[in-house]
Amino acid sequence: MFLYIKLSFMESPFSNKNNSFFVLYLEPYLNTYFQTYQNIITLSCHPPGPLSEFVIGLSYSKLSPFQESSHIFSSKSNCLHGLIRYSSNSSNSTIKNSDYFMGVDDIPNLFSFLVENGYSIESDLTKLLYKSPISISGTSEKRFSGNRKMICMIKYNNV
């Protein structure tokens, strides 16, 4: 007699797959093309809506040879969602452009884009996170970056 067991893998309802909320960060990134460090805008997950055309996946390497590798640094957690200035379908969308990534100077224009395209800046949640004793900025147990700064929490309203 054979016992048939159907294995099914459950997906967490808390996964970022259908999440309308995400966090914007400013964090250091080693641009390997120009061999320079840049502070770029990153996101906590791949966002829904029109902003997704301006987000690319980036592999994230150690910022310093003194950072320790550990089992908690899996390849999945070493992926950044970086914000770029040009649509990923544009001919300008190449890392060879010195203005490829969005940075701190782009925040006002980014906020305008977000508001005009159905996103809202969740100021109450952002304040709550800033005041919380649990920091979601700075160092992370899952990433090499040790100096990311939370900009704000965003919600996509057209989900």
Task: Report how far residue 10's alpha carbon sits from residue 106's, in angstroms, rounded to the nearest whole number.
Answer: 39
Is residue 17 within a helix (H) or strand (E), and if so which, with residue range? Answer: none
Q: Residue 37, SS3? A: strand
Q: pLDDT at residue 142 above 70?
A: no
Determine, yes or no, domain membership for 124: yes
In a domain? residue 2: no
Confirm whether 33 is domain-assigned: yes
Question: By residue range, what is the domain housing residue 51?
Answer: 19-156
pLDDT in tens, 65-84: 655 554 444 444 567 899 99
Is position 10 within any domain? no
Residue 90 or residue 121, greater confidence: 121
Asked if residue 73 is part of any domain, the answer here is yes
The total of structural domains in the chain comes to 1
Most confident range (mean pLDDT) of 13-22, 44-53, 144-153 is 44-53
Q: What is the pLDDT of residue 145?
A: 57
What is the reported pTM?
Answer: 0.76
Whether 13 is covered by a domain: the verdict is no
What's the pLDDT at 72?
Answer: 44
Which burial class, exposed, middle or buried, applies to 40 when counting CB atoms under 10 A from its CB (0-12, 13-18, 19+)?
Answer: buried
3 within some domain: no
In a domain, 4, yes or no: no
| Torsion over CA: 137, 139, 143, 144 (sign) | positive
At residue 121, the pLDDT reads 94
